[in-house]
Structure formats: structure tokens, C-alpha cells
Chains A and B, each alone.
Chain A
Amino acid sequence: MLKVKNISKQFIPALPLSARLINLHRKNSPVTALKDISFSLEKGSILGILGPNGAGKTTLLKIISTIILADKGTVRVDNYSPGRDDEKIKSITGLMSNEERSFYWRLTGRQNLEFFAAMHGLDKRNAESRLKEYFTKFKITYQDKRFDSYSSGMKRIFSLIKTILHDPRLVLLDEPTKSLDYNTSLKLRNFIRELSAAGKAVLLATHNIQEAEELCDSFLIIYQGKTRAIGALDELRKGMNNSSATLTDIYLKLTQNA
């Protein structure tokens, strides 16, 4: 389903205009966001991407979803490549970003989802039936209120619905339960499990180790853009020569002592 091979990405932070005017040739030194990241993901499985802030998790998801182009390496989503088959990838991929600003706040939740359904090429009847299904599933009664009146939890649920509205085969989730209360977080976690059970490949970037351990089949731990470990929990334990290590132990060891 998803094959990522030797992906690398560097960013050059922009200089302030004053610095550029003083020296036209001056450039900031590049910052490595990702270096030689490789992994693959089969349908029906969930891979957790773990790493501290700035590890490169979001950059990786954005490269897979075609928003950012990698400097090096290849990405294949069902044999489609970013840069060449962007539209095909977008039609089979859903990215749930970790920001709440991806909706039109002056529209209602329903109007937002109807708009994005149309932009994904869903016809009106199909879109309506899917929305009805999700509103029932998440017990949503506030879909006709303006989006700017929603709580963080409501916005996250709408964000998840937007991500899966077009029935993508690959679901990329960037901290889906960030700043959510326990009940909403549980609702979302259960739904992520259902996505996997329905055969979707799920890539879950999170800071929440407990959540990752609960949901994911395997893990990719990245630190400063580099792979520190990859595999199922047992494989990670073997790599650490500690058969009783928890995911938290492994994560801390790999990201604190790196």
C-alpha cells in the first residue's frame, strides 16, 4: 500500500528581509527535517510514528500526501508517486492535519463537509448518505451550527470525518487526539481501530505513547529526522535487548540518549 524509501528533506529557514538586503548572497544554513527514512505499510495495519517535537513526523506525512516534495528518496502509494501522480494519490489518501484551521469558520460543519465532498468528486447523493452515516456514528447534533462555535473536540471529529469522507485507502493522522478530553479521545481511537479493521492502512503520528501502544501494530521512532527504531513492539524489545521493556522505556531511551 505505502512504500517509503530513503526519504530526506532539508529546509532552509528564511532570513529576515533586512539581513537579505545587507547581503544578497547570504542564506541560512539548511535544517535537516528527515534523513533516509524508509518503511512500508500494508493495508489493514496501523503504523505509529513517534518522536519529540520537531522530529519530522508532520513533514513525513505532508510528503506522503504530496503537500511537500522530498529532496531525495521515493514514495509509492499504491504505486503512485508524488510529483507525478498527485491527483491519484490525493484521491486515495486522507490527511488529518493537527491544526484546526483547515475549515471555513463562517460555514456550518455540514456546509464545510459538503464542500470538501464535492472537491473530492463525490456526487451530492453519495456525499449526503456518507455524512448522514458519520453524523449518526459520532452522535453529532451540531452539524448545522457555525464551525466557529464548535469546541476543540467537535472540530477534531469533523476533521476526522473530512479526512475519510472520500473513503481513502491510506489514512494519515497527525496527532488526532491532541488536546481532547477522555471521552472524545476514546471515540476517535475506537474509530481508528475500525478504519484499520475495514482494511485501511493507517499512519498515526502521535506524542501519546500510551495511545500508540494501544492502537498500533508497529512503530517508527524518529529523532532529529532520523530513524531510531522500526518494527513491532517485540522487535523493538529485541533491538534493545530487553524483553520486558515498555514502549515508553524504548521511546525514552532512543530519544533522550540519542
Chain B
Amino acid sequence: MLRKITAQIKKDFLIETSYKFAFLFNIFSVLASILTYFFIDKLFGHKVTEHLEEFGVSYFSYVLLSMAFFSYIGVGLGSFSSRIRGEQLQGTLESLLLTPTKISILLAGMALWNLIIATFDILIYLVLGIFIFKINFSNINILSTTIILILTMASFSCLGIISASFILIFKRGNPVGWIINTIEGLLGGVYFPVTVMPGFLQTAARFFPITYAIRAIELAVYRGYSLPELKSELIFLCLFCLVLTPLSGYTFKYALKKARRQGSLLQY
């Protein structure tokens, strides 16, 4: 199992490094997005101060962390469907499916490289945040942050697998991915605290796991909240995991079987 996962990571590494400038462009794109919010903070940051009191940070500090975290969530969410779509388009999905490899290992292998890249992105965010923008991460509660990361990745990976199931059957058009990337980005508190929005949108935000994840990570990193202090957020994230894990497994198996019956597994 380990050899198969390692082989997939090595293959992705070799493909990625064959694009000479991708790595450099990645750093620049992270820097560009950080700078955008840095200047937005300069312009409007003081207007949301009251909404950020709970977290005890400036708008820029808040958004830097939530964006770094959201890129991580994006991996859990998007990597399965985008990788399956990529393999379909390249024509290599058939070769992969012809190897005696469990689907769960194929999926894990596909997602791991993206996870490594996202971890690297987070490091870029943090290094730039600490050394250039002088953001203070000294209050971080490592245990809470780790648990939140694990629970968030688990629940969003499940959503990602459900999303990949749509790709297997419909090839294009991925409502789960769209909802989460677009609606959750808007409502979940990634670019501004949820309290900025009107009441009915705040109510809607409660139905998305990202709202709990972003709030929990901000409080764990900037205020050093312990696990008991984040109890309600963690309970919600655990609930999402409990419901989504079997649901995603069932959905993917169903989609795979349907695609094999339709003979459309390799179509794109």
C-alpha cells in the first residue's frame, strides 16, 4: 500500500517539476493575493474592527489565516475530482484502474500530492505573514489547531469524494464543488467575519462546515483557545465527519459502478 502511494507522489512530483516555472509562479500568486488583502486592510480594515474583536486581530491577520486555511480545505475538496478529471483527460485513468489497486488507495495517492503542495502554500502564507507582515502567531494552541485541521480535512475530503462521484458520472458540471467553492467562500467567513453579513445570511452560514472550521482555526491560532473552549465548533465538525464519511464511500462506489455499467468510465 505504502509503495503504491509513494509511487503516485513520486510520479506527481516528477510531472510537477517538469513544469519549470510553476513553483515560482505559485509563490508569486500567493504573494499577490496576500498583498491584495493587505491593501484592502489599509483601506477598509478599520471598518470591521468591531467584528474582529472576538479574534483579537486586524482584518489582514484574519484574512491571511482564513485564506491559507481555505487553500488547504480546497485540496480536500477539489483534489479528488480535479485529479480524476485530469486522468480522464490525459487518458491515464484506464491504466490506473487496470492495476490491482484499491480505489481508496488510488484516491489517497491522488490527493496526497495536492496536500503536500497546499502545505507548502500554507508555509508560504505563514512565512510571508511572520517575516514581511509581522503577524503575531505566538498565541497558537498547537493541539487545537492540529485537531481542527484533521477534522476539517476529513470532512472536506468526504465532500471532495462526493464531488468526484459527480465527475465520474457527468464528467463536467460538479454542483458539490461549485456550492462549496462559491457559496462557502462567500458565507463561511473566509474573506470577512460572518458577523459582517445580514442576519439571514448568518443563519444560512450555520449550515456549512467551513463556518465552524474558520471560526475555530482563527480562535485556536490567534487566541490560543483550547479544545474545551472550541467544543461547539468541534462537535459540529465531528458530526459532519460522521455523516459524510459513509455517505462519500457509498456515493463513490455507486458512481463507479454506474460508470462501469454505462461504459463511460474513460469518457471525458
Q: Which residues of A are interface residues toward B (Cβ below 8 A)?
A: 9, 11-12, 14, 33, 59, 62, 65-69, 71, 86-88, 90-91, 93-95, 97, 99, 101-107, 111, 114-116, 118-121, 123, 146, 162
Are A120 and B99 within 8 A (Cβ)?
Answer: yes
Are B4 and A119 within 8 A (Cβ)?
Answer: yes
Q: Known contacts A121-B100, A162-B95; is A104 also within 8 Å of B15 by CB?
A: yes
Number of residues from B at the complex interface, CB < 8 A: 31
| Other contacts beyond A68-B265, A69-B261, A115-B10: 9, CB < 8 A | A33-B263, A67-B98, A69-B260, A102-B91, A102-B92, A103-B95, A105-B90, A115-B8, A118-B6
Which residues of chain A have C-beta atoms less than 8 A from B6's C-beta?
Answer: 118
In the assembled complex, B179 has its CB within 8 A of some CB on chain A: no
Q: How far is the CB of A137 from chain B (nearest CB, A)?
A: 21
Q: Which residue of A lies closest to B264 (CB)?
A: A14
Are B100 and A88 within 8 A (Cβ)?
Answer: yes
Which residues of chain A have C-beta atoms less than 8 A from B260's C-beta?
Answer: 66-69
Q: Known contacts A9-B263, A118-B7; is A104 also within 8 Å of B92 by CB?
A: yes
**Pairs A–B under 8 Å by Cβ, sample size 30:** A11-B262, A12-B262, A14-B264, A59-B263, A66-B260, A67-B94, A67-B97, A68-B260, A68-B261, A86-B100, A87-B101, A90-B98, A91-B100, A101-B90, A101-B91, A104-B15, A104-B92, A105-B90, A106-B14, A107-B14, A107-B15, A111-B11, A116-B99, A119-B4, A119-B7, A119-B8, A119-B96, A119-B99, A121-B3, A121-B4
Q: How far is the CB of A240 from chain B (nearest CB, A)?
A: 33
Could you tell me the dominant secondary structure of chain B's interface residues? Answer: helix
In the assembled complex, B257 has its CB within 8 A of some CB on chain A: yes
In the assembled complex, B266 has its CB within 8 A of some CB on chain A: yes
Q: How far is the CB of B15 from chain A (nearest CB, A)?
A: 5
Q: Choose one: B7, B14, B100, B266; the contact of A90 (CB below 8 Å).
A: B100
In this complex, the member of B19, B92, B95 whose beta carbon has the largest number of chain A beta carbons within 10 angstroms is B95
Complex: how many Å from CA A212 to CA B13?
A: 42
Complex: how many Å from CA A59 to CA B263?
A: 8
Complex: how many Å from CA A94 to CA B99?
A: 9
Q: Which 9 pairs between the two chains have the least Cβ-Cβ distance?
A: A101-B91, A118-B7, A119-B99, A90-B100, A91-B100, A87-B100, A102-B95, A106-B18, A69-B260
Q: How far is the CB of B255 from chain A (nearest CB, A)?
A: 13
Complex: how many Å from CA A245 to CA B4?
A: 51
Q: Which residue of B lies closest to A86 (CB)?
A: B100
